[in-house]
Chains A and B, each alone.
Chain A
Amino acid sequence: MNPLRPALFFVAALFLLTASAPSHAAQDLEDSQLLHPAPDSWPSYHGDYSGERHVHLTQISQQNVGSLALAWAFQTNQGAEIKSSPLLVDGVIYFTVPDNVWAVDARSGHMIWRYRRPSIGEHIGHRGVAMYKGWLFFTTPDDHLISLDAKNGKVRWDKIIADQSKGYWSTMAPLVVKNHVIAGVGGDLDNLPGLLRSFDPETGETQWQWFSTPPAGTPNAPTGGMTWMTGTYDPELNLVYWGTGNPTPVLNGKTRPGDDANTCSIVAIDPDNGKLAWGFVVSPHDTHDWDAVETPVLVDGEFHGQRRKMLMQTSRNGYFFVLDRTNGKDLLTVPYGPVDWALGIDKQGRPIPNPDKEPMPDGRLIAPAEGGLTNYRSPSFDPRTGLFIVDANPSWSLYFAKPADGAYGWAGADYDLWGKGVIEAIDYQTGRIRWSHEAGEGGDGAGVMTTDTGLTFTGDGYGNMMALDTATGKTLWHAGTGAPMQSSPISYMLDGRQYVLAGSGGVLFAWALPESPAAASRTHPAAH
């Protein structure tokens, strides 16, 4: 059994005691609650430090999920799509779009407060806030880290993660580990080194920085390696695991010969000092923009008969990786969809890029497309079936690069030809796909969450949110939400009911089983 999984400690009892009392402890979040999230919480982007996005909640089952109904919907009344995973702490939901944080009462579905901070910089999306004690941590398009009071959205401090005027931005939910708030950046339109910066949660002072690459201008070296998704954490090894983005210049690899470490890599870093423990290059010498920032999912279990501390990633480049997370050694590398760009796998378990499939003046047909065989929407690991379930996108693109495109930023052009969404369940020990569930042509599926009752919550490219049977992929429930889900679902218990939340378009939907008749009669007493 995975030692990282939450257990019902006295922490849960403490929550129940304090939840009704308006005390200072209400809506705070301590280390222990991040390490062992209580059932009535979703305290961080992934839900817990493992990134498995698997909940040990059993109220919603395969037998009753067909009755799942809308509990409430929160309308943001603005145009940006919700890509964030909401947090649920002590009955309050916190979620984001670029420049905006909402606090919503999880019982009424109504807004408590909203924080707006218009900014310059890249507004492509936003993954959510982090929380620690009574404070929220919010990254911005102009690459600031803002700390807000969770009670009212007031700014406590405002610090810079990286210089927006150089081309950096931020969209990610930071990771809180002990007394470190770790934030990452985006920015591959310029030749910039990717970085992680750790902030003191009280003062906002920088504790350490880690850079993915040497400084810009270093001969024969890449820049890039952006850190635009949230990492995971192993408290026993005291290592944070992070995926890094593609190197720059993006489509032209001539100025950066070699593997281009630590771009397109999974890295293990000591959260106390930012020192690199190991790095594994998932896409050596990438020239297709295939960021390896997808969730580094931490799983403790058997691998071919031996107990292992593993790290799994369905990477954008089309390969499913299983690594030993104590030392970064590869255990398995298998494609999970069409790929045409590699000559094989090397002795270290890394794909060998085919030089003839680099972008060329007359174009190259490449699978997967530039958006990748998967993207930022989260996968889920189900411990009972050993299935790694991912929103996959079999696809093809044309890639072009010529000398006139230069060696700065994108340095070329690429064009999607075709793709479709498929939810795939991968046997983690072999990489074989146990089942596939079609999710629509021309689009993507949604992020994935699994539960202890064998349910897989996800969505298709047409706006249907769905519950599938984790063992077979069969649809057990669905509801049309009106927009393809660009986020990853969460779930929690509140007041004895299990809720499943997902943002779709500009609306946050909360689903639950209808209240029991006894409970309903208390809510709706007979009219007089």
Chain B
Amino acid sequence: MCHGAQRQGNPPQVPSLVGVGKRMTDDQITDMIHKGKAPMPPFPDIKDDELKALLKFLTGKEPAAAPAAPANPEAADDTEQAEPAGTPQPGRAIFQQNCSFCHGRDAMGGETGPDLTRSKLVTEDKTGDKILAVVREGRPGNKMPAFNFSSQQQQDLLAFIRARVAEVAAHPGGRRGVEVSDLQTGNADAGKAYFNGAGGCAKCHSPTGDLAGIANHYDGLALEERMLYPWNAKSAVTVTLPSGEKISGTLAYLDEFTVALRDSIGTYRSWPTSRVRYKVDAPVNAHVDQFPKYTDDDIHNLMAYIQTLR
């Protein structure tokens, strides 16, 4: 479909594969097939006989040996798989089955799951403890489920994620994420006017106060996401007991049946909602109220302005 039945390609976008056996070794061709290179998608499941036949077709010669197939995780305990050194195949299988739906087969993002190869948490985690904590505990609000993997499986998964990070760093052209440069389509003056005017931001925020230097702490997509909804903002609550006593604190939990806070010395206290009155002060809700009011230009302009706060 892309390279043509005669391997002639469609240069310059789609390279010709005629004579590729002279330019690349079998391992290099296999690597390219398995990992892709934008705009060529990866084909990680072409292996064994199918891979041998493909290599033969491309190079016109018998390949020396095909790489081992990814291990079925149930079989991994019983069989020794001959694997090329450094290729985290068991981790790949675990990732495909459990993670790829949200994070993409190549860990570069999929159905709402972030691109792990450009996640700060992933790239800055030297020991792997932070990554594995997220795998084991998931993310709140059912954003990401918790996974119950064995220690070996966790190490295999970590190796796979790290390998992907390294591979993507070596081949930056294939990224499918959002670059800082993608988000520079707004006008900072218009953004400042929106911040102080229709956006209502100035009611709670100040460029010299709470937002001073904000663009030093976050950039690109992370900054824009927090600008639109700062997910870790805290709310306050005042609970009035039947006696009339009022207790205030940081809202720790609220559903239809239970309200809880941490008081001024950090003690957790909760009550059935049927027995108390309570009032929540959630300034972050102003961000939710703003969602239906934004135009996309407003957002890009705001981003341009926020990025000047260094």
Judge whether A118 and B72 touch: CB under 8 Å. Answer: yes
Judge whether B141 and A365 touch: CB under 8 Å. Answer: no
In the bound assembly, the distance between CA atoms of A475 and B257 in angstroms comes to 10
In the bound assembly, the distance between CA atoms of A224 and B119 in angstroms comes to 29
Q: Does A141 contact B (CB under 8 A)?
A: yes
Complex contacts, A396 vs chain B, CB 8 Å: 228-229, 291
Complex contacts, B228 vs chain A, CB 8 Å: 365, 396, 398, 417
Complex contacts, B177 vs chain A, CB 8 Å: 413
Judge whether B256 and A478 touch: CB under 8 Å. Answer: yes
Closest to B101 in A: A124
Shortest A99–chain B CB gap in Å is: 9
Judge whether B145 and A410 touch: CB under 8 Å. Answer: no
In the bound assembly, the distance between CA atoms of A207 and B34 in angstroms comes to 35
In the bound assembly, the distance between CA atoms of A106 and B175 in angstroms comes to 51
Judge whether A460 and B225 touch: CB under 8 Å. Answer: no
Closest to A357 in B: B296
Contact of B101 among A122, A217, A414 (CB under 8 A): A122
Q: Does B126 contact A (CB under 8 A)?
A: no
Give the residue among B38, B110, B146, B255 with the most A Cβ atoms within 10 A: B255
Judge whether A417 and B73 touch: CB under 8 Å. Answer: no
Task: Flag the segment in B19-27, B90-98, B155-163, B189-197 that touches A.
Answer: B90-98
Judge whether B224 and A444 touch: CB under 8 Å. Answer: no
Judge whether B115 and A413 touch: CB under 8 Å. Answer: yes
Given contacts A189-B100, A444-B142, contact A120 B294 (CB under 8 A): no
| Chain A contacts with B in 324-350, Cβ cutoff 8 A | 338, 340
Given contacts A363-B296, A367-B291, A484-B142, contact A438 B178 (CB under 8 A): no
Judge whether B224 and A363 touch: CB under 8 Å. Answer: yes
Given contacts A118-B74, A417-B228, contact A123 B98 (CB under 8 A): yes
Shortest A424–chain B CB gap in Å is: 16
> Number of B interface residues, CB 8 Å?
57
Closest to B50 in A: A165
Judge whether A362 and B291 touch: CB under 8 Å. Answer: no
In the bound assembly, the distance between CA atoms of A163 and B74 in angstroms comes to 21
Complex contacts, B32 vs chain A, CB 8 Å: none
In the bound assembly, the distance between CA atoms of A442 and B300 in angstroms comes to 25
Q: Mark A158-188, 1 if CB is under 8 A from B, else 0.
A: 0000000100000000000000000000000
Complex contacts, B98 vs chain A, CB 8 Å: 123
Q: Mark A413-447, 1 if CB is under 8 A from B, else 0.
A: 11111100000000000000000001011111000
In the bound assembly, the distance between CA atoms of A340 and B296 in angstroms comes to 11
> Number of A interface residues, CB 8 Å?
65
Shortest B297–chain A CB gap in Å is: 10
Given contacts A79-B148, A362-B300, contact A402 B111 (CB under 8 A): no
Q: Mark A459-489, 1 if CB is under 8 A from B, else 0.
A: 0111010000000000100101000101000
Judge whether B73 and A118 touch: CB under 8 Å. Answer: yes
Q: Does A257 contact B (CB under 8 A)?
A: no
In the bound assembly, the distance between CA atoms of A120 and B38 in angstroms comes to 26
In the bound assembly, the distance between CA atoms of A369 and B96 in angstroms comes to 24
Q: Does B143 contact A (CB under 8 A)?
A: yes
Given contacts A165-B45, A410-B110, contact A461 B141 (CB under 8 A): yes
Q: Does A133 contact B (CB under 8 A)?
A: no
Judge whether B183 and A412 touch: CB under 8 Å. Answer: no
Q: Does A151 contact B (CB under 8 A)?
A: no
Contact of B97 among A120, A217, A486 (CB under 8 A): A120
Q: Does B9 contact A (CB under 8 A)?
A: no
Give the residue among A119, A410, A444 with the most B Cβ atoms within 10 A: A410
Judge whether A462 and B224 touch: CB under 8 Å. Answer: no
Q: Does A404 contact B (CB under 8 A)?
A: yes
Complex contacts, B256 vs chain A, CB 8 Å: 438, 460, 464, 475, 478
Shortest B137–chain A CB gap in Å is: 12
Q: Mark B106-118, 1 if CB is under 8 A from A, else 0.
A: 0001111011000
Q: Does A407 contact B (CB under 8 A)?
A: yes
Q: Does A222 contact B (CB under 8 A)?
A: no
Given contacts A361-B182, A404-B175, A413-B178, contact A443 B299 (CB under 8 A): no
Judge whether A289 and B225 touch: CB under 8 Å. Answer: no
Judge whether B292 and A338 touch: CB under 8 Å. Answer: yes
Judge whether B96 and A120 touch: CB under 8 Å. Answer: yes
Complex contacts, B100 vs chain A, CB 8 Å: 122, 189
Judge whether B104 and A410 touch: CB under 8 Å. Answer: yes
Complex contacts, A360 vs chain B, CB 8 Å: 296
Q: Does B278 contact A (CB under 8 A)?
A: no
Complex contacts, A400 vs chain B, CB 8 Å: 178, 182
Complex contacts, B66 vs chain A, CB 8 Å: none
Give the residue among A165, A370, A404 with the most B Cβ atoms within 10 A: A404
Q: Does A364 contact B (CB under 8 A)?
A: yes
Judge whether A415 and B294 touch: CB under 8 Å. Answer: no
Judge whether B111 and A418 touch: CB under 8 Å. Answer: no
| Chain B contacts with A in 113-146, Cβ cutoff 8 A | 114-115, 140-143, 145-146
Judge whether A402 and B182 touch: CB under 8 Å. Answer: yes
Q: Does A81 contact B (CB under 8 A)?
A: yes
Complex contacts, A105 vs chain B, CB 8 Å: none
Q: Does A208 contact B (CB under 8 A)?
A: no
Complex contacts, A165 vs chain B, CB 8 Å: 45
Complex contacts, A383 vs chain B, CB 8 Å: none
Closest to B115 in A: A413
Judge whether A415 and B112 touch: CB under 8 Å. Answer: yes
Shortest A257–chain B CB gap in Å is: 18
In the bound assembly, the distance between CA atoms of A79 and B114 in angstroms comes to 22
Q: Mark A63-85, 1 if CB is under 8 A from B, else 0.
A: 00000000000000011010000
Q: Does A258 contact B (CB under 8 A)?
A: no
In the bound assembly, the distance between CA atoms of A155 and B174 in angstroms comes to 44
Given contacts A338-B292, A478-B257, contact A217 B1 (CB under 8 A): yes
In the complex, 19 of the A-B residue pairs with CB atoms within 8 angstroms, ordered by the A residue number, are A120-B93, A121-B96, A189-B100, A189-B105, A216-B1, A356-B296, A365-B294, A367-B292, A370-B112, A371-B112, A396-B229, A412-B176, A418-B229, A418-B287, A418-B291, A442-B142, A443-B141, A460-B255, A464-B257
**A398-B224, A413-B178 provided; 20 other pairs, C-beta below 8 A?**
A78-B148, A120-B70, A120-B96, A123-B97, A123-B98, A362-B183, A362-B184, A362-B296, A363-B300, A364-B296, A365-B294, A365-B296, A398-B225, A410-B104, A410-B176, A415-B114, A416-B112, A417-B225, A418-B229, A464-B257
For the complex of A and B, 8 pairs with smallest distance between CB atoms? A442-B141, A79-B148, A118-B74, A406-B39, A408-B41, A462-B255, A362-B185, A124-B101
